Amino acid sequence: MSHMLQPLNVCFILYKPANVFMLLLAIVPETCLHVDNSRKWGHFHDSGHLQLHPLRRFDFIFAVFGFKVIVANINMSFNLAGKKFLVTGAGRGIGRVLSKTLSEHGCKVYALSRTQETLDTLAAENSNIHTIQADVRNWGELRNKLDGIEVLDGLINNAGVTEGLSGPALDVSKASLDKYFETGFLASINTIQIIGKKMVDAKRSGSIVNVSSVLSLQSFPQNIGYNTNKAALDMITKQFALELGPHQIRVNSVNPTLVDTEPVQNFVKDVSPVDKLFIEKTPMARIPEVNEIVYPILYLLSDFSSMVSGTTHIVDGGMMSAFATKL
Ligand SMILES: NC(=O)c1ccc[n+]([C@@H]2O[C@H](COP(=O)([O-])OP(=O)(O)OC[C@H]3O[C@@H](n4cnc5c(N)ncnc54)[C@H](OP(=O)(O)O)[C@@H]3O)[C@@H](O)[C@H]2O)c1
């Protein structure tokens, strides 16, 4: 957990080709490139200041730059290499970027989603990603497909209904409410029971993240299905954090504001410029990119958050804490 050079960090440095290249840039000029036999760094002028040898200037720049890149990568490492996670809703959007990023950090990822084609392209891009096609709304199917899975270090419940609105609260249909609650609330309990039980039985500590929303905390027009489902998901987080805590399994939610994914882009194009509404209410005056949701999830999966559990982790550029952004 410290920022010092641990074996895992060294592996991480060597695992990235860019780091190896920078390391060579830092070392090669010093060892090979100097054909002149005066191996001095430079010479002092009568005035006292040091004039660097022209070639040594390059050494110096390469060494400093290479070292900086390496240190930056050490600090960015969440030490997740070798961990195993299940990601639901991994075919598109946040789940897809999360799966790829975890894989790039050396994790084995079980990517679960509804549509086989998106899973195929995801797996083709990365050999560390194993795909599972399933509809999380189907309780029994999900159990069958996850039954034989190995013991994991955690999971990310990300699948959610993202297209459209559920409609006015007085008119919303049971079918619409079922869609939200089966995809979010029920499926999340199902996956945590399956994966969580295996972790408890194997005495494996770990981390579970539920992808909720700022809309679990505030009402929004014509959105009762989405909002109440996310509010229920936040309570799932707290309840499982309570019951899995003694087994050293942490459970947290990430609650993003509007994120720039495909369904949001379609909604902005076809229904309402809702992005402007969010931007106006946000002190940082923008909506996040997908990576800006993925990295807080990585933090919650990593040991950097080893004592964080039962929280709703809002990622919104300050929106929820501001009553207004201007007078
Ligand atoms: N985007 C936002 O503004 C925003 C803001 C706050 C919270 N969130 C939450 O973040 C999560 C991801 O959102 P996103 O914008 O990345 O969504 P997205 O781009 O629509 O991707 C959702 C993924 O989940 C899969 N999925 C949906 N229903 C499923 C089901 N029944 N069974 C299996 N897989 C299913 C989809 O599969 P298909 O490819 O088959 O559709 C898709 O791969 C959701 O829980 C959402 O509520 C999003």
Let me know: does 156 contact 88? Beta carbons within 8 Å.
Answer: yes
Mutate-to-test residue for ligand 1 from 96, 113, 136, highest number of ligand atoms within 8 A of CB: 113
Q: Give the residue carrying structure tokens 């000029």.
A: 29
Lowest-confidence pick of 6-10, 127-131, 210-214: 6-10
Catalytic site residues? Answer: 226, 230
The mean pLDDT value for 121-134 works out to 96
Q: What is the predicted pLDDT for the residue at 34? A: 47
Name every residue whose Cβ is closer than 8 Å to that of residue 142 and which is 6 or more positions away in sequence: 134, 135, 136, 187, 190, 191, 194
Q: Is 108 helix (H, G, I), strand (E, B) or coil?
A: strand
* Residue 317 clears pLDDT 80, i.e. is over it: yes
The mean pLDDT value for 292-310 works out to 98
The mean pLDDT value for 168-182 works out to 97
Distance (Å, rounded) from C-alpha 288 to C-alpha 254? 13
Q: Where is pLDDT greater, at 69 or 102? A: 102
Q: Where is pLDDT greater, at 285 or 41? A: 285
Residue 117 in tokens: 């084609």
Q: What is the predicted pLDDT for the residue at 26? A: 54
Let me know: does 98 contact 123? Beta carbons within 8 Å.
Answer: no
pTM, to two decimals: 0.82
92 lines ligand 1 (CB under 6 A): yes
* Residue 220 clears pLDDT 80, i.e. is over it: yes
Point out the ligand 1 atom lying closest to the alpha carbon of residue 90: 43
Task: Indicate the pLDDT class of residue 45, thresholds 50, 70 and 90.
Answer: low
Q: 113 CA to middle of ligand 1, Å?
A: 9
Distance (Å, rounded) from C-alpha 87 to C-alpha 324? 36
253 lines ligand 1 (CB under 6 A): no
Task: Give rounded-to-5 percent helix, strand, coil for the chain.
Answer: 50, 15, 35
Domains along the chain with CATH numbers: 7-76 (no CATH), 84-321 (3.40.50.720)
* Residue 136 clears pLDDT 60, i.e. is over it: yes
Q: Where is pLDDT greater, at 26 or 110? A: 110
Let me know: does 194 contact 240? Beta carbons within 8 Å.
Answer: no
Alpha helices in 105-223 (DSSP H): 116-125, 139-146, 174-181, 187-201
211 lines ligand 1 (CB under 6 A): yes
Q: What is the predicted pLDDT for the residue at 36? A: 47
* Residue 196 clears pLDDT 50, i.e. is over it: yes
Q: Where is pLDDT greater, at 64 or 318? A: 318
94 lines ligand 1 (CB under 6 A): yes
* Residue 226 clears pLDDT 70, i.e. is over it: yes
Mutate-to-test residue for ligand 1 from 86, 114, 292, 312, highest number of ligand atoms within 8 A of CB: 114
Name every residue whose Cβ is closer than 8 Å to that of residue 323 and which is 6 or more positions away in sequence: none
Point out the ligand 1 atom lying closest to the alpha carbon of residue 157: 45
Distance (Å, rounded) from C-alpha 260 to C-alpha 265? 7
Q: Look over the chain and give the mean of its residue pLDDT values, rounded to a whole number.
A: 87
Q: 242 CA to middle of ligand 1, Å?
A: 27
263 lines ligand 1 (CB under 6 A): yes
Q: What is the predicted pLDDT for the residue at 77? A: 78
Q: What is the predicted pLDDT for the residue at 6? A: 44
Q: Where is pLDDT greater, at 40 or 286? A: 286
The mean pLDDT value for 153-182 works out to 96
The mean pLDDT value for 216-240 works out to 97
